[in-house]
Amino acid sequence: MKIAHILIVLVIAALTLGCIGNKQAETRSVDTVVQPAQTTIAPSVTAVPGVDDPFGTDMDVAALDSMLADSTMDISLMDSI
């Protein structure tokens, strides 16, 4: 009986906090992704195609921009110490 109580409590708490029931979005995207070329889940891009962007090109452009920004990350090391 006590074990059943503990299980109920844990499941309710986990559901409340979203620890379970949230499948990896990456997995979700795999279901819809036909080939690697698709950039619909590119990091740092949250937009979904809408009336103003019926072909989803804004999302693609934002994904390219984000990747370009990462390629320019640098560190300002001093010449000598």
- 25 to each of 28, 29, 40, 47, how far by Cα in Å? 5, 6, 12, 15
Selection from 23, 22, 25, 51 nearest residue 40 by Cα: 25
**Which x/- pattern, by CB under 8 A, does the window 22-61 give for another protein?**
xxxxx--xx-xxx-xxxxxxxxxxx--xxxxxxxxxxxxx
Counting contacts by CB under 8 A, is residue 3 touching another protein? no
Residues forming contacts to another protein in the complex (CB under 8 A) are 5-6, 8-10, 12-14, 16-19, 22-26, 29-30, 32-34, 36-46, 49-61, 63-65, 67-68, 70-71, 73-78, 80-81
